[in-house]
């Protein structure tokens, strides 16, 4: 039987990154991840993240994974992660794609980069992902949420809500510059993996805070220009303030769009 083809990519993080923080962040989305000798992190599905133990290698990790490729990306297709540029002969697929996505997320959150097996450098922007979700055991009524957010977003408006609407299943919209909006979507929790140990999760409520851009293709930009970065940063700042206020008011935890926990103290 032919052995599966394997490959490796490199995750480059700042030299002062605590390896324990890397493991904790990985376990947010892969609770089964385990650390073994020499700091090697087993991610499952025959994938490992191996730290570079050489003096010059502090902050560097090697992502060892099965190589799984499909057809190249269609020409001209937007690609925020840069995979089409990095893999012109065939896009990563399956376990390799999932592993690269995780490395990209770690690089985004920890201000690093991914260098692919083809020596292409991918540097996610910290504001590529602006959406946050507050998962809480407590549901606010529509009017209560509107009143709570009003000091931060005085132009925010509730979606049309029937008088007998439940405390989960409604939304609120706040305008941003350039035609963008922040949507607050309240519904039953998607039960993020990072929170599976909580005994109240099954009945929890998600307050999803979503940056909806006027240009639907904007989220597929790999390298945003200065004006786009400014708008993204403003959207994330305002979303963060709302998330912090909701958490302070009803309790709960904050995760980003990729399932990684966010400390509310970092959102002030």
Residue 239 to residues 140, 185, 209, 256, 263, Cα–Cα distance (Å): 18, 12, 6, 11, 14
Task: Supply the pLDDT for residue 164.
Answer: 63
Domain limits for position 182: 132-267
Task: Tell whether 161 and 251 lie within a shared domain.
Answer: yes
* Coil, strand or helix at 145: helix
Given a cut of 80, is residue 2 above it in pLDDT? no
pLDDT, tens only, 161-176: 666 666 668 999 999 9
Q: Are 140 and 242 in contact (CB under 8 A)?
A: no
The domain boundary, picked from 122, 148, 179, lies at 122
Task: Tell whether 15 and 112 lie within a shared domain.
Answer: yes
Task: Tell whether 106 and 223 lie within a shared domain.
Answer: no
The number of helix segments (H) and strand segments (E) in the chain equals 5, 14
Return d(Cα 49, Cα 10) in angstroms, integer. Answer: 9
* pTM for this model (two decimals): 0.94
For the chain, what is the mean pLDDT? 94
- Residue 190's Cα: distance from chain center in Å? 15
> Would you mind telling me the total number of residues written for the chain in this entry?
268
Give me the torsion for CA of 187, 191, 192, 194, rounded to 10°.
130
Give the other-Cβ count within 10 Å of 188's Cβ. Answer: 14
Task: Tell whether 197 and 244 lie within a shared domain.
Answer: yes
Total domains in the fold of the chain: 2
- Asked, for residue 42, whether it belongs to a domain, the answer is yes
Percent of the chain with pLDDT over 70: 96
Task: Tell whether 112 and 149 lie within a shared domain.
Answer: no
pLDDT, tens only, 198-256: 999 999 999 999 999 999 899 999 999 999 999 999 999 999 999 999 999 999 999 99
CB burial string 82-118: b at 16+ within 10 A, e below: bbbebbeeebbeebbbbbbbbbbbbbbbbebbbbbbe
pLDDT, tens only, 65-78: 999 999 999 988 88
pLDDT, tens only, 75-106: 888 899 999 999 999 999 999 999 999 999 99
């Amino acid at each position: 039987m032919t052995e599966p083809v394997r490959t490796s990519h490199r995750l480059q993080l700042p030299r002062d990154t605590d390896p324990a923080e890397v493991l904790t962040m990985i376990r947010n989305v892969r609770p089964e991840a385990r650390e073994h000798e020499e700091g090697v992190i087993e991610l499952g599905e025959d994938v490992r993240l191996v730290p570079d133990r050489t003096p010059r290698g502090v902050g560097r990790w090697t992502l060892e994974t099965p190589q799984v490729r499909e057809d190249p990306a269609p020409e001209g297709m937007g690609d925020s992660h840069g995979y089409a540029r990095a893999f012109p002969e065939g896009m990563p697929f399956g376990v390799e794609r999932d592993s690269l996505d995780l490395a990209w997320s770690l690089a985004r959150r920890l201000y690093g980069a991914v260098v692919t097996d083809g020596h292409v450098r991918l540097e996610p922007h910290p504001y590529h992902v602006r959406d946050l979700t507050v998962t809480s055991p407590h549901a606010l009524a529509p009017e209560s949420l509107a009143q709570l957010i009003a000091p931060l977003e005085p132009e925010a408006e509730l979606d049309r809500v029937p008088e007998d609407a439940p405390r989960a299943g409604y939304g609120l919209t706040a305008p941003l510059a350039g035609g963008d909006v922040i949507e607050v979507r309240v519904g039953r929790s998607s039960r993020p993996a990072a929170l599976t140990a909580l005994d109240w999760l099954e009945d929890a409520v998600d307050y999803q805070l979503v940056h909806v851009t006027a240009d639907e293709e904007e989220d597929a930009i790999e390298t945003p220009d200065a004006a786009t970065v400014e708008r993204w940063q403003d959207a994330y700042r305002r979303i963060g303030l709302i998330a912090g206020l909701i958490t302070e008011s009803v309790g709960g935890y904050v995760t980003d769009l990729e399932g990684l926990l966010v400390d509310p103290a970092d959102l002030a």
